[in-house]
Amino acid sequence: MRTRATLLTTAAFVLALVVSAVIAGGAATVIEKSTKQEVRVAMEAQGYGWMNIHADGLQVTLTGTAPTEAERFRAVSEVDKYIDSSRVVDNTDTEVAQDITPPAFSLEMLRNENGISLIGLVPASIDRAAIVEKLSKVAGDEGVTDMLESADYPVPGGWDEAMSFGLRTLETLPRSKVSVTAGNVSVQAITDSVAEKGRVETSLARSRPSDLKLDFDISAPRPVITPFTLRFIVDKDGARFDACSADTEKARDRILAAARAAGAKGTLSCTIGMGTPSPQWAAAAEMAIKAMGQLGAGSVTFSDADIALDAKPTVPQKTFDDVVGELESNLPPVFSLKATLEPVPNAKAAEAEFIATRDGKGQVELKGRVLDARQREAVESFARAKLGHDNVHGATRVDKELPAGWPVRTMAGVEALAILHDGTVTVTPKLITVTGTSGDSQASDTISRILTSQLGEAVQMDLKVSYDKRLDPTLALPDGKECVARLNGALAQKKVNFDPGSAQVSTDSLPALDALAGAMKNCTEFRMEVAGYTDNQGREEMNLQLSQERAQAVIRGLLDRGILIGNLVAKGYGEDQPIASNDTEEGREENRRIEFVLLDETPVDEGETSAPDGASDGASDGEPHWDGAVTEDGAPADEGAAQPAADAVEATDEAAATEQGASDTTDTGAAEPATQDEIPVETPGNDTPRPKTRPQDLTKG
């Protein structure tokens, strides 16, 4: 019994031990999972996902690689908030940090009369004191200013060689800047002369180490040129410089370009220096070189602001006067010109001349000779007062040998020119010639009074002044553009309509023709096109013919009303160039129209326009005129008469009487004489006269 009791007790104890172990093991597992999960969630939530967490019972092991030591420390400290630090085993580490990139070392050395300055960042291993001591011997009393910074990093490759070359270079250049980086040296310096500049550049290029990159910019001051000289020659050997000076590169380029334009070839050079007498040296040189090129033989020489121009005897006197006058009148201030034309042996001296010209746009040019600079200024001022300040261009030259009374004669000539719209006044010692056009019917009388009142009744004059009524302000005649605008305006107010499918002007449009005849007043001298247009109803070729006939009908209607039609030409365009949609009746009505187009802004006398017999294209000598003639031979009525010729009007009346009947007939091809209903018409691409009659099947255009 006792033995059995002992066994039972032992078994119970073992069972209790097993149960306790199982319970303890389960509890430990639960604690491990709970701790691991809690710490993992906390670490990920705070951005420490790189950390791995391992739990072994109550012990927690941390592993992983932190990006920095600071972040690793913060992560481990955060774990201590959830687990007692005695239970934490820290096996984390950090990434291997890369070496810090060394800075870009550079040394800049400046040397001038104030000493030497050192600026930049150099390696700490460089013996700065030795550098300063070495350069102090070069700088002398001015000394060396050391503003260098240093950094404790390895010396980059090529640094020592570049710094040594830079120091040697600085010692040889009193005014320089030497910049040093690893493997590279840049030198900027100023030398005393061009020769010294070349020597320095050669020395630098030769002494440069083979593995060193070298950049240099060596300059030399411009030489002082005294006097500032230029000499340009044109002779049998061509155009060339004997001497050339310029104050800037831009001035040099302008001068050389002018020389090439004057005929100079080959390699040209021009010395750039200081000492120019005027900032406008290049402008004066350009003008003088251009003048010599125009003369064709001689030389021009500049010595500071004094210019001597010598022309050879082969140069005509008038050419010399014109070219030298242009140059003398327009040289920049400061410059003075002395021009000489070498005389032709045993030649008679050319007669003095002053010419004033005015074009139709109001521009005035004064050429020829004046007594002196004061007279030049006076005559140009007088011309500007009379003809407009900005309209006058002076190109006169001084001739001290002019006859007595010359200034008065030139002033009178300018005053006479003011009466002309365009023309020329030529003044010589014996005669004043005036030719041109004026809008003043009494212009010749006025000019004659001006000349006789200022020069006396014995003055010799030759006046050839024509009167142009269109220039007469008292008549206020319209110009070509105004005429076309007026005619098209009349058509806009009262449209010319035609019977359907016909070129017969409708009865209700006769007042429109009357209005057109009124608008043609003072406009018959302008060449104009009467353009006809149709809508797109019907065949295209028939519409083209119909538009031509309608344009001719308008011209014929003007002729019936006593209007000279010699400068009018009919042109049909058919359904081309619509101004509205042809899809609606309103649009088609707009497209059926007549328009006037100006062909030439210059007025032409009716007598200048004529049609050759049998002409089929309505043009003579390239000039447009009416191609819808009313005479039997196809030519317009007598265009020089104030009214239409009686037989032409009679023919027109006869045509009008038969118009309706003819409109419904077709061309039979019978070889009968041309009548008013069979007139030559202008048809694109067809030179054959076409009949005026309309095909019966033509629909309304």
pLDDT one-digit tens code per residue, 128-183: 888 988 899 888 888 899 999 999 889 998 999 999 999 999 999 999 999 999 99
**pLDDT value of position 692:** 36
349 has a pLDDT exceeding 80: no
**Going from the N-terminus, what domains does the chain have, and what CATH number goes with each?**
16-94 (3.30.1340.30), 106-219 (3.40.1520.20), 229-341 (3.40.1520), 354-471 (3.40.1520.20), 480-662 (3.30.1330.60)
| Mean local confidence (pLDDT), 311-329 | 93
> How crowded is residue 541: how many other Cβ atoms within 10 Å of its Cβ?
10
Using the 8-state DSSP alphabet, how is residue 562 labeled?
A: T
21 vs 137: which has the higher pLDDT? 137
d(CA 433, CA 528): 37
pLDDT at 640: 37
Range with lowest mean pLDDT among 267-271, 313-317, 386-390, 682-686: 682-686
Q: Are 534 and 591 in contact (CB under 8 A)?
A: yes
Quick one: how far is CA 363 from the chain centroid? Answer: 25
Q: How confident is the model at residue 513 (pLDDT cuts 50, 70, 90)?
A: very high
Quote the strand ranges of 526-670, DSSP E. 528-533, 568-572, 593-598, 619-620, 623-624
Average pLDDT over residues 198-204: 90
pLDDT at site 19: 60
- The answer to whether residue 63 scores a pLDDT higher than 70 is yes
Token pair 């118009």 is found at 659
Measured in whole angstroms, the distance separating CA 70 from the mean position of its chain's CA atoms is: 66
Sequence-distant (≥ 6) Cβ neighbours of residue 204 within 8 angstroms: 169, 187, 214, 216, 218
pLDDT interval class at 581 (50, 70, 90): very high
Q: Give the count of beta carbons closer than 10 Å to the beta carbon of residue 66.
A: 19
Query: Residue 366 in 3-state DSSP?
Result: strand
Choice between 175 and 192, residue whose per-residue pLDDT is larger: 175
pLDDT > 80? residue 659:
no
- Is the model's pLDDT at 647 over the cut of 80? no
Per-range mean pLDDT, top range of 285-299, 436-450, 615-629: 285-299
For the chain, the average pLDDT equals: 81
C-alpha Rg value of the chain to the nearest Å: 53
Binned at pLDDT 50, 70 and 90, residue 406 comes out as very high
- The pLDDT score that the predictor gives to residue 620 is 36
Residue 605 in this model has a pLDDT that exceeds 90? no
pLDDT of residue 21: 56
Which pLDDT belongs to residue 40? 78
Least confident of 42-46, 386-390, 564-568, 658-662: 658-662
User: Does the global pTM surpass 0.75?
Assistant: no
Residue 54 has pLDDT above 70, yes or no: yes
CB 307 within 8 A of CB 288: yes
Distances (CA, A) of 280 to 277, 283, 469: 9, 5, 48
Q: How confident is the model at residue 663 (pLDDT cuts 50, 70, 90)?
A: very low
Describe the strand order of the beta sheet including 88-90 as a list of residue ranges: 52-56, 59-63, 88-90
Residue identified by tokens 């797109």 is 536
Residue type, 530: V
* pLDDT at residue 70 is higher than 90: no
Long-range contacts made by residues 45-54, C-beta under 8 angstroms, separation at least 24?
A: 46/75, 46/78, 48/74, 48/75, 48/78, 51/75, 51/79, 51/92, 53/79
Is 657 a residue whose pLDDT tops 60? no
